[in-house]
Amino acid sequence: MKPLIKLLGKPLVALIAAASLCSLARADEIVGTHYGSQIYGAPFAVALKKGYFRQQGLDISGILTAKGGGTSVRNLLAGDTLYAEVALPAALSAIQEGFPIKIVSGGTDGNPGYWVTRVGESIQRPEDLKGKRFLYTRPKSVTESVIIAILRSHNLNAADVKLVALDQSAGLAALEQGKVDIVPLPEPMYTQKVREGVKLQVIPWLEAKLPPYTQTVGVATDETIAKRGDKLRAAIVARRQAVDFIYAHPQEAAAIVAEAYNMPPDLVRTVMGNTLKRFPAWWSPAHIRQGQMEKMAEALASVEALKLPIPWKNIVDDRFVPIDQKGM
C-alpha cells in the first residue's frame, strides 16, 4: 500500500496542514455593546479600519455586537472572547452574582442621549416635573436609577412623578399618544427621528445637576487576564489609538463609523459631532475613573439594583491601562 501522503497528493496535504494551523490560530474576539447601532463602539470601527488591532499583533476580523446589559457579559463568557465593552451596571451586577470578570479599562463617560417631551409641553423648571410620567425600560434598570438620581438632584423623589415601564422603541408612540410625558432617547435614534420630521422638545436642564458618571467599561475574564494578558493589553492600546484618532480627525472617523454601521454618513457626522460638543472626552482613551463609577453604583443602589459597598480594589484591574492613563 502506498503511503497516505502519496495517495492524497502534496497540494491536498498542504491544504490540510494550513487548515490545522488556522484552527489553532483562531481570530481574537471582541464584544461591543450596541455595536452597529449606537456609537459606543465607534473606536472599534476605527481600530479595524485603520489597522490598529493588527499593528498590535491581534487578529480581529470584526466586532461581536450585543443589545447591551447582561447580553454583552454573557457573550463575553460564552465564547473565547478577549475583551468586551459593556454597560457598567451590567458589569457590576455580573460581578456581584459571582461571574469571574474584572473591569480592565474605561469606556465612555456621560449620557449621549436626550430626554424629550412633546413640543409645547410646559416643563421649564424642576417644579414642572411633579406629576409627570417618565418612561423607563424596566424595574431596577439604568433608566430607572438615573431618573431617581435626576429627581433627587432637583430635591424631588419618586413619589412626585409616575414611572411607566415601556421599551424605548415604543417610547415615542407612547409620548405622542399622551401615555407618557418624558422619554429618554439614545443616539442615533434621536437624530434619526428629528430628520424624519418627528417634533420633539429636548429638556436640556434635566441632567444638569448630576455629577459625571461612567456609562461603559472594558471587561475581561479572570482566565484571559491570567493567560492572555499581553493580548488584552494590545486590545486596549489599539482602542486607545482609535480614540485619539476620533478626537484628532472627527470627520474621517465619522465616515469610518458610517461605513461600518451601514448608516448615512451625514447622520453619523451629526451624531458624533453633537456628542463631542456635549462631552468633549466622551470616549475614554482607557483610564478608569472610580469616582464616576461610584456615582453610577450609588444610583443603581437607590433602586435596589445593586448592593453597596462595592469592593473596587477587588474588581478593578488597571495593569493593562497605558501608564499615562492611570490615576486620571
For residues 51 and 70, the answer to whether their CB atoms sit within 8 Å is no
Q: 26-110+213-325: CATH homologous superfamily?
A: Periplasmic binding protein-like II (3.40.190.10)
Integer Cα distance of 4 and 129 in angstroms: 80
Non-local CB neighbours of 184 within 8 Å, separated by 6+ positions: 113, 114, 115, 116, 135, 136, 143, 146, 168, 171
Could you tell me how far CA 119 lies from the centroid of its own chain?
30
Give me the helices (H) in the chain, please.
4-8, 10-24, 42-50, 52-55, 70-78, 88-96, 142-153, 171-176, 189-195, 222-227, 229-248, 250-261, 265-278, 290-301, 312-315
Cell numbers linked to 138: 424596566
- Please check whether residue 113 is in contact with residue 203, taking contact to mean a CB–CB distance below 8 angstroms: no
CA separation for the pair 290, 57 (Å, rounded): 30
Cell numbers found for residue 284:
475614554
**Rg value, the chain, Cα:** 22
Fold agreement between 26-110+213-325 and 114-202? yes
Contact present, 236 and 85 (Cβ < 8 Å): no
Cell of residue 158, nine digits: 419618586
Q: Evaluate whether 99 touches 73 at the Cβ level (below 8 Å).
A: yes
Residues 85/99, Cβ–Cβ less than 8 Å: no
Tell me what percent of the chain is helix, strand and coil, each rounded to the nearest 5: 50, 15, 35
Q: What is the pTM (predicted TM-score) of this model?
A: 0.86
Domain edges within the chain: 26-110+213-325, 114-202
Closest CA to 327 of 294, 291, 298: 291
Distance CA 23, CA 45 (A): 25
Bridge-based pairing state of the strands 114-117 and 201-202: antiparallel
Q: Are 81 and 219 in contact (CB under 8 A)?
A: no
pLDDT tens-place values along the chain, 328 residues long: 444 334 344 443 443 334 333 334 457 889 998 899 999 999 999 999 999 999 999 999 889 886 655 555 666 766 678 999 998 988 999 999 999 999 999 999 988 899 999 999 999 999 999 999 999 988 888 888 899 999 999 999 999 999 999 987 788 999 999 999 999 998 999 999 999 999 999 999 999 998 888 999 999 999 999 999 999 999 999 999 999 999 999 999 999 999 999 999 999 999 999 999 999 999 999 999 999 999 999 988 988 889 999 999 999 999 999 877 766 5
What is the CATH code of the structural domain delimited by 114-202?
A: 3.40.190.10
